[in-house]
Chains A and B, each alone.
Chain A
C-alpha cells in the first residue's frame, strides 16, 4: 500500500486528518498531560528509592545508593509487626468482609415487598456516605469508658471494669474489621444485587415446578449466576491485600495501639513525611506496589484457569 503512494503523500494525509480533529486532540491531550504530571512524574520520582534524597537537593542531584534502602527495610525491626498487621487485617477482611455482602444480597433479594426491599437498600447505603472521621467520632463515643459498649457489657456482668478499647492493641483488628463491615456492607452488596436482578425468572419458575425450596434455588440458581461477578471482585480483593484503608487506620490508630495498628501504608507516611526519610519510605512503598501488581496478575491468572472469568 505504502509503496504505491509516496510517503510524503501519506504524511500529508495524516496531518490533514490530525488537523481535522484538532479540537478532539486538544481535549484528549489535556487528559494525557494531566496523567503525565500526576501519575507518571510520581512514577519517575520512585528513583529516589535508589538514591539518598533529602529535601534540599533535587531528585536528579541526589547520589545513587543502589539497593541500600531495600536492605535496610529487610533489617528494619518494625518490619515483622507492620507486615503482620497489614496481612492480618486484610485477611480478616477477606474472610469475613468479602462473603457478607454476598450473603446480604442473596437474602435481601428474597424479601418480597418491593417497598421494604428498597427501604432496606437505602438505609444500608447510608454509612458508606459518612466519612471515616465522622465514623471515628461515633466509635470514640461508643467505645469510650462511659460509652454504650462498656455500659452493656457491665450491665450483663460480663466485665467488671470499663475497657478503653482504642487504647488496647488486642481489640484493634476487631474494631477495624467490624467498622469496615458496618460502613460498607450495603454498598458492596449493590453490585451483587444488580447481577442477581439480571437472572431470568424462568429458571426460578422451572425450579419451583420441580419442587425446589428457597435455599435450593439460592444455591443452585442465584449463586451460580453471579459467579462471574464474585470472581472479578475476588481478584480485586486479593490484589488489594497489602492495601489498608488508610483513612480508617489514621482515624482509629493512636500511640497506645501502635503495635497492632501500624500497617505498611501508615509506615510509609510515618517514616516518609513525619520522620522525613523520603528515600526509605519510597522504597517501602515501591516494594508494596510491586507485590500488589504481582498479586493482581496472579489472581487474575488463577481465576481465569478455574472458571474462565478474568479482569483482563
Chain B
C-alpha cells in the first residue's frame, strides 16, 4: 500500500514536469511564427522601432494591402498555385499508375522494373549532368520544368505499392469479368479505393511544390515565371530589399516598409499550408508508416 502511494506521488511529479517541458516545446515552436505574424500586422514604420512581441502595437493591414496590390508578388503567387495544382495532380496519378502496374504479380519484367527503380534511390547523376539534361530537353524557362521532372518518385511508388497490396483482389476480378481493361480497372476501381494514400502523397507533393524555390532559381530566368518562394528567396537570402521596394505598388501608404512587406508576403505565402495540414494529418501519419515499413 505504502509503496503504491509513493509510486503515485513520483508519478504525479513526473507528469507535471513532463507537461511543462512539452508546453515549453510548443512555445518555442510557435513563438517565432507568432512574432512574424504580429509584426506583419503592425504598422510598418512603427515596427522598425522594435519591441513588438505579443500583439501589434499599431494594428494595420496596409502591408497586406500592398502585397495583394503588387503585380510582381501576385504573378509569383499565381505561378505557385498553378505549379502546385498541376504538379500534384500529375505526380499523384502518374506515380499511382506506374505503381499499380508494378503491383500486379503477372506483369512480365516486374522484377527488372523494380531493380531499375531501386537503383535510382541510392545513386544519381548529380546536379551538373541533371542541369545539362534539363537544358537539352528545352525545359529551361518553361513552366513544365516544375511538372515533368517532378511527376514521378520511386519512393512514392513504394508507398502506393504497399497500399495497393491491401486492396482485395476480388474487386479487380469483378471488373475484369465485366470486360474492363487494366487501365480502366486502375482508374475506376483502384483510384477510388485508395483515397487515404492519395491524400498522403498529394499532401507531401503539394507541400514540396509549394515550398520549392530551387527549381525556380536554377532553371528559370524569366521573373514572370518564378514562384513565390523563389521570389522570396531573392528577397531574403540576397537581402535585396530593392526587389521588395520595386514590388511595392504605387499609391501605397508611406508607412509600409520593405521589411513589413516582406513579413506580410511570408505570412500570405505560408497561410494556405498551415490551414490545410491539420486536416490531412490523420492521412499522412498513416502514409508515413506505410513508407517506413517498406523503405
Q: Residues of A at under 8 Å CB distance from B?
A: 14, 17-18, 21, 23-28, 30-32, 34-46, 48, 59, 104, 107-108, 110-112, 116, 119-120, 122-127, 129-134, 136-138, 140-142, 146, 148, 151, 182, 185-186, 190-191, 194, 211, 213-214, 229, 246-247, 250-254, 265, 268-269, 272-273, 278, 281-282, 285-286, 288-289, 293, 296
Contacts and interface: CB of A to CB of B under 8 A. Distances in A.
Interface string B91-132: 000110110111010111110010011011011111111111
Give the top 8 A-B pairs by smallest Cβ distance, nearest first: A42-B125, A45-B129, A31-B98, A285-B126, A131-B211, A27-B101, A28-B101, A23-B182
A247 B237 CA distance: 11
A108 B181 CA distance: 49
B122 A34 contact: no
Given A133-B236, A134-B266, A34 B152 contact: yes
B25 interface: yes
27 contacts: A21-B108, A27-B183, A30-B94, A30-B97, A30-B98, A31-B98, A41-B125, A41-B133, A44-B129, A110-B18, A120-B22, A122-B281, A129-B273, A131-B212, A131-B269, A133-B211, A138-B266, A146-B50, A211-B7, A213-B7, A250-B233, A250-B237, A278-B128, A285-B127, A286-B126, A288-B126, A289-B126
B251 to A, nearest CB: 26
A32 B107 contact: no
B29 interface: yes
Given A125-B277, A211-B3, A285-B127, 9 more contacts: A17-B106, A123-B29, A137-B232, A148-B53, A213-B10, A247-B213, A250-B214, A273-B131, A278-B128
B18 A48 contact: no
A27 B130 CA distance: 25
Given A45-B129, A134-B266, A282-B128, A35 B120 contact: yes
Nearest to A136: B236
B274 interface: yes
Contacts of A285: 126-128
B68 interface: no
A133 B104 contact: no
A111 B33 CA distance: 25
Nearest to A119: B26
Contact of A42 (B11, B124, B151, B181): B124
Interface in B16-33: 18-19, 21-22, 25-26, 28-30, 32-33
A129 B107 contact: no
B22 A108 contact: yes
B182 A123 contact: no
A40 B33 CA distance: 41
B143 interface: no
Given A48-B128, A110-B18, A268-B126, A133 B36 contact: no
Given A27-B182, A27-B183, A138-B33, A268 B127 contact: yes
Nearest to A150: B50
Contact of A31 (B14, B15, B102, B236): B102
A117 B26 CA distance: 11
B218 interface: yes
Interface in B256-295: 262-263, 266, 269-270, 273-274, 277-278, 281, 285, 288-289, 292
Contacts of A281: 127-128
A194 B290 CA distance: 11
A46 B276 CA distance: 41
A132 B132 CA distance: 26
A35 B125 CA distance: 12
Nearest to A117: B22
Contacts of A186: 29
A251 B108 contact: no
B98 to A, nearest CB: 3
B163 interface: no
Given A25-B108, A126-B274, A133 B213 contact: yes
B124 A43 contact: yes
A21 B103 CA distance: 13
B126 A42 contact: yes
Contact of A246 (B98, B117, B214, B237): B214
A261 B133 CA distance: 28
A182 B129 contact: no
Contacts of B101: 24-25, 27-28, 31
B285 A190 contact: yes
Contacts of A251: 233, 236-237
B113 A43 contact: no
Given A28-B113, A134-B269, A272-B127, A247 B214 contact: yes
B125 A45 contact: yes
